[in-house]
Amino acid sequence: MYPRIAIIYNDPVPDRYVAMGETKAIVGVLDEVAAVEQALNKLRYPVTKTSLLPPLEKAGQRLDDLDADVIFNLFEGFDGRPETEAELAALLADKKKIFTGNPASALQLAQDKARSMQILREAGVPVPAYQLLYPDTLSRFRLDFPCIVKPATEHASHGMSPDSVVNNLALLLQQVNKVSASYGGKAMVQEFLDGREFNVTVMGNKELVALPLAEAIYTLPPELPRILTFASKWDAESIYFQHTQVTCPAENITSELHNAIINVALSSFKALGCSGYARVDIRLDRQGQPRVMEVNPNPDISPGYGAARQAMAAGMTYELFVERIIMMALEKT
């Protein structure tokens, strides 16, 4: 008897991202939902889907009405309120629902980039030097240039552009002001590492498996920083999209470096209390050593991208990848 599956996701209602031209990341969840639903249909699972709207209390009431054995959690937070991604997972746990992916604690930690970097560093995971800065605390800046400035509590590359990499105090102030005004008052500033860029998806609960490494390959003009901008992911007409490719499995990598990347990815997954699946983003420093830039619990699992591409490189069909995510949720019961 196949378990009944209910896919939940955030209804992409326009919010602050409209003004910043970043709605494509929000409506992209619909493609992910459609792909997962199609995979479950092929696998013959009874499946329904439910979109959630704010406020969170109303969403909680909709969860009560779901007639399902497993909730396939594709909820990424209400537009303009990324913190609700973790809050909804907490609601699911409170209601004793079985759901896919990470617990609220891991989602909340990953959302707070400064806190997650601190926990990783305390666990012995190598990370770049970083600071959390506001416009009025810029006098405390103590890192070396170049730096990269990110929103402190966003995902999906929101707020990431060529201007994110800064080389002097004037540009730093400009970008911290911009990020702070648009994304909630604080900016994550990290030492910019210009080495090779990898990401690895880790799957599992107690027994963890790292999928084949993927590497971002940049063929950008030399004046543009080699980073994954919002346009890299979402704007097919942009120079960043057209000059950023991903190789999976990663090529021209020694067994020593491969093992080092896998080890820091697994350590990161454990340190943040992840379960189910998560993607770990890594760059090499000047000495060629891997440093963790970010951990992304419940990453996009759309076919042909990210985690799904790595699953395919590991020999899984998309349908088996989706089914494995369900099986990991059931393992926790």
pLDDT score at 88: 97
Q: Cβ of 94: how many Cβ atoms within 10 Å?
A: 11
Q: Does the reported pTM lie above 0.75? A: yes
Q: What is the pLDDT of residue 22?
A: 47
- Single-letter amino acid code for the residue at 282: I
Q: What is the pLDDT of residues 33-80, one digit of tens each?
A: 999 999 999 999 999 999 999 999 999 999 999 999 999 999 999 877
The 10s digit of each residue's pLDDT in 151-194 is: 887 665 667 889 999 999 999 999 999 988 887 778 999 999 99
| Rg of the Cα atoms in the chain | 19
Q: Which of 275, 281, 272 is nearest to 108 (CA)?
A: 272
pLDDT-derived band at 298 (thresholds 50, 70, 90) equals very high
Burial 228-267 (b: 16+ CB within 10 A, else e): bbbbbbbbeeebbbeebebebebeeeeeebbebbbebbbb
Note the pLDDT tens digit of each residue in 311-332. 999 999 999 999 999 999 999 8
pLDDT at 93 > cutoff 80:
yes
* pLDDT (0 to 100) of residue 157: 61
Pairwise pLDDT comparison (325 vs 136), residue with the higher score: 325
Cα 108 → chain centroid: 12
